[in-house]
Structures are given as C-alpha cells and as structure tokens.
Structure 1
C-alpha cells in the first residue's frame, strides 16, 4: 500500500467516525480514535495487541503503537470507569458529554473495519464490564457478552 493510499484509508476511518459522533473536527475525531485505541491496546497481551495492530491501516497503526511499552501484564485497574477515564484524559481541555457513547462508536467502527475473528479475540481478552461497550454480534445475547 502506498503512503497516499494509507492516508486516504485513514481519512475514510476518521470521516466515518466523525459522521457517527456528529463532529466536524477531524483532529477531535483523531484524538478520540487514538485515545480509545491506546486504552484498548493497553488492556491486551503483547501478542494480541500486535495481532490487532496488524489489521489497522498503516497510518492508524503508527499512532496505535505510539508510546507503547510492551508488556504481557494487564493494568491493575481493569474497570469500565478506568477505560473511559483513559479516553477522557485526551479531552481535558475539551470535555465530552458522554464518553461511553463515543467509545461505543469507535468500537462500532472497529467492528465494521476489522475481521470478526480479531474483534472476537479482543473482546474475550477484556473484562466483562469493558466488553459490554462493544456492539453485539449477530446471534449474541447481551448476557453472553
């Protein structure tokens, strides 16, 4: 894939996210995607984080890995509030009304753009209270999440 193609694909992802969250600011959508990807990455094993990252467009993969300190230990705090707090930290100067709804939109984007098998693997590595932020797959019940 050429650099121009990955820029175009990354812009498609950001445009799709902007439409979903009803924002017109691409940099704001970038911060949301980046913060959510970092919160997710930091809750996966190193192996799973690398497998997940391999499916991202090259440009998005770059900011997904930015600042990563590879470890196979999950963070001590694995609650939904800690996950959402990580995303909220990216918006200290620009607070959001509903971080949970915004994270759910990022997860919908990821579900739409990445393989179902990869999404299933990632979801199963997360604690149940974070897992419920993902959209349900066809045939999946809310209690099964």
Structure 2
C-alpha cells in the first residue's frame, strides 16, 4: 500500500494532530516516515482536509477512551474492522450512504478492499457477526461485543440519526441489539452540541 509517509509541519495549531496521525498511520502500515518542515511555503492544506484530519482524531480519541483502548492505532484498527463488517452486511446503496457520513480520512479506510459485487453478506445472527469481528481483530482481544457496541455508539453519536435508523432497519433483529438506545444518542448529541 504505502511505503513512505511524508509528515508536513507548519507551526499551526493542527501540527501536533498531523504529526501524531501521520506517525500512527505509518506505524499501522509499516511505512517509513519523512518530514517536510515549513511546508506552508510549498502548499497549504485546504480547510476540508484539515477539518477531516481533526474529525478523524476526535473520533479515534473518543473510541479509544470509551473502549478503553491503548492508543489511537488500536482505535483505528477496531474502527476499521467493525466498519468493514458492518459495510459488508449492508446493501450496496446503504453502505455508500454510511460512507458519506464518515470523515474523509475514515472513508478511505472504510472503502479499503471493498468488493460491492459480493455484498451484502447474509450474516443473520449476532454470534456469527461478532465471531467475524473477533477473527479480524487482534487475537488478544476477547470482547468483540463491547467493541462493536462502542463503534456503533460512535456512529450513532456522530452520523445523521435518519441514516443510522436506515442502517439499523437493514440489519437482522439480533444484530440490531448491538446498537445503543436512540434516545441515549440523541441526548448525548444535544449535550455535546450545547457545550461545544
């Protein structure tokens, strides 16, 4: 995939976020890291890229804290696995609609290795769904149920509630039970919007 990651620094407030994200991405991919100081004289990142980078960091930090994960690298791994398993269970159109709700950087991981012609998978029960997640996770992890619930809560708190409702309605009842109570996510969203 990527053999070399170039991390640009420009002295901005987002520099630390960019460096941390770049290092975690390089570590996860086994890539070498390069540094380009004062890159602003060569290029300026569009606001949409900076915004996506910031949102990605916020999502990873929130998942790391809620799921009690070691670092953002582990949070990214968990997020990727659960998103892939959910994506592969949804009809194509719904999978694309969910992808549109994600920050751009997470979208890249979401669509990684996607084969829409093979979708949706017919996993009808919670147990095989969780077993598939567990197979894809670090073998040391033995709580796929909790991790799936934490990712679903993250999605429910950050994505459009109508989209989440459509996703939930596409899933078998057994898998639906992994999603948080909608009233809790609405209250969470309102409390964070009022104080941010």
TM, length-normalised to structure 1: 0.88
Give the match for residue 142 of structure 1. none
Point out the structure with max Rg over C-alpha. 2
Give the match for residue 87 of structure 2. 41
Instruction: Report deviation, 1:105.
Output: 0.7
Give the match for residue 78 of structure 1. 124
Instruction: Report deviation, 1:73.
Output: 4.4
Residue 117 of structure 2: SS of its match in structure 1?
A: coil
> Contact (CA 8 Å) 2:81, 2:136: kept in 1 or not?
yes
> Contact (CA 8 Å) 1:43, 1:74: kept in 2 or not?
yes
Instruction: Report deviation, 1:84.
Output: 1.2
- How much is the aligned-residue C-alpha RMSD, in angstroms? 1.7
Give the match for residue 23 of structure 1. 69
> Contact (CA 8 Å) 1:37, 1:64: kept in 2 or not?
yes
Q: How many residues align?
A: 138
Per-residue deviation, residues 92-115 of structure 1 (Å, max 9, x unmatched): 44x223110111011111000001
95-104 vs 40-49, which moves further: 95-104
Instruction: Report deviation, 1:82.
Output: 2.1
Cα distance in 2 for residues equivalent to 1:115 and 1:77: 25
Give the match for residue 105 of structure 1. 150
TM, length-normalised to structure 2: 0.66
Residues 40-79 of structure 1 mapped to structure 2, 5 A cutoff: 40-71=86-117, 73-79=119-125
> Contact (CA 8 Å) 2:90, 2:121: kept in 1 or not?
no
| Structure 1 runs of 4+ with >6 Å offset | none
> Contact (CA 8 Å) 1:17, 1:106: kept in 2 or not?
yes
Instruction: Report deviation, 1:72.
Output: 7.2
Give the match for residue 52 of structure 2. 6
Give unmatched runs, 5+ long, in structure 1. Answer: 140-145
Per-residue deviation, residues 81-136 of structure 1 (Å, max 9, x unmatched): 2221222123244x223110111011111000001100000000001111100001
Give the match for residue 87 of structure 1. 133
Cα distance in 1 for residues equivalent to 2:87 and 2:141: 22
CA gap 1:39/1:51 in 2 versus in 1, 3 angstroms:
same
